[in-house]
Amino acid sequence: MKYLICNLKENMTLTETLKYLEDYRSIPKTNLKIIMCPSYPYLLLFNKNNSLLGSQDVSIYQSGSHTGEVSAIQLASINCHYSLIGHSERRRTYNENEVVIARKIRNCFDAGLKVIYCIGETLEEKERLKTMSVLEKQLGRVLNNFKREELENIIIAYEPVWAIGTGKKASNIIIYEVINFIKKLLKEYYELDIPVLYGGSINKDNIIELEKIDLLDGYLLGKSSLNIEELKQIINKINDK
């Protein structure tokens, strides 16, 4: 069974969201584990769908006087199952580092939420041949804070920063090498066999090529999850054995 995470980001008004949800009903039944991550105000609307619910972020705090924040406990109370943590847009725009990320993940685990932890190198790091060492740091600095049983509740999403929103999907060779590296590291250091996904400029045309990578446990979509027709085609092309 593969995962398909839809990160809707800061898109759609209420009217557009209601239309999206109406169109979403035409998506055929699938064995894929679809996790929809809309903006906070729409989470409850997505609750009625036959997909799982994920938030795009979570507060670093557990509760209390933190204006503008939404806690893991609040998310769990509305039936949210997952939280996307460490997305490169948050690392870049809000300077989120692994200390912040680990605190957010701690709050998620304590509230019973599972975590989709996003990692990936920048273009500059890639060009300096630092991909594997960057990923190793992003994994180690976060995962070392948790017990092995807790880590069973994490999904890793490999999202090269240079591939997000650029229309430039990473090549199959790169994805294979990196996913293989991540899976070996998880096994060796943590005895973990958790899902590892790819994200970055996936669309209805390149999904077939991605499907040739048998190591992948699923995908994280940004832009192409906003268009139901495109999303449908992607779902139809994924072989959900």
Q: Could you tell me the maximum CA-CA distance found in the chain, to the nearest angstrom?
A: 49
Task: Give long-range contacts, CB 8 A cutoff, 24+ apart: 100-104.
Answer: 100/60, 101/142, 102/141, 102/142, 102/145, 103/60, 104/57, 104/58, 104/59, 104/60, 104/72
Q: Which of 96, 159, 188, 209 is catalytic?
A: 159
> Can you point out the beta strands (E) in 23-161?
33-37, 52-55, 82-85, 114-119, 154-158
87 catalytic per annotation: yes
Is residue 221 part of the contact set for ligand PGA (CB under 6 A)? yes
Q: Which of 120, 175, 222, 235 binds ligand PGA (CB under 6 A)?
A: 222
Residue 81 CA neighbour count, 13 Å, CB half: 13
Is residue 218 part of the contact set for ligand PGA (CB under 6 A)? no
Which of residues 102 and 118 has its CB atom nearest to ligand PGA in the complex? 118
Q: Which tokens go with 32?
A: 């894929």
Q: Which of 38, 120, 199, 218 binds ligand PGA (CB under 6 A)?
A: 199
Is residue 204 part of the contact set for ligand PGA (CB under 6 A)? no
Q: What minimum distance in Å lies between the beta carbon of 66 and ligand PGA? A: 25
Among residues 121, 110, 65, 50, the alpha carbon closest in space to that of 83 is found at: 110
Is residue 159 part of the contact set for ligand PGA (CB under 6 A)? yes
159 catalytic per annotation: yes
CB-nearest residue to ligand PGA: 222
Q: What minimum distance in Å lies between the beta carbon of 110 and ligand PGA? A: 25
Which of residues 190 and 219 has its CB atom nearest to ligand PGA in the complex? 219
Q: What type of residue sits at position 118? A: C
Is residue 96 part of the contact set for ligand PGA (CB under 6 A)? no
Q: Which tokens go with 2?
A: 């593969």
Given a contact cutoff of 8 angstroms between Cβ atoms, the answer to whether 159 and 88 are in contact is yes
What does 204-224 look like in DSSP terms, one character per residue? Answer: TTTHHHHTT-TT--EEEESGG
Under rule CB under 6 A, which residues in 4-63 are in contact with ligand PGA?
A: 7
Site string for ligand PGA, 103-142 (x = CB under 6 A): ----------------------------------------
Stretch that binds ligand PGA, among 49-57, 146-154, 186-194, 197-205 (CB under 6 A): 197-205
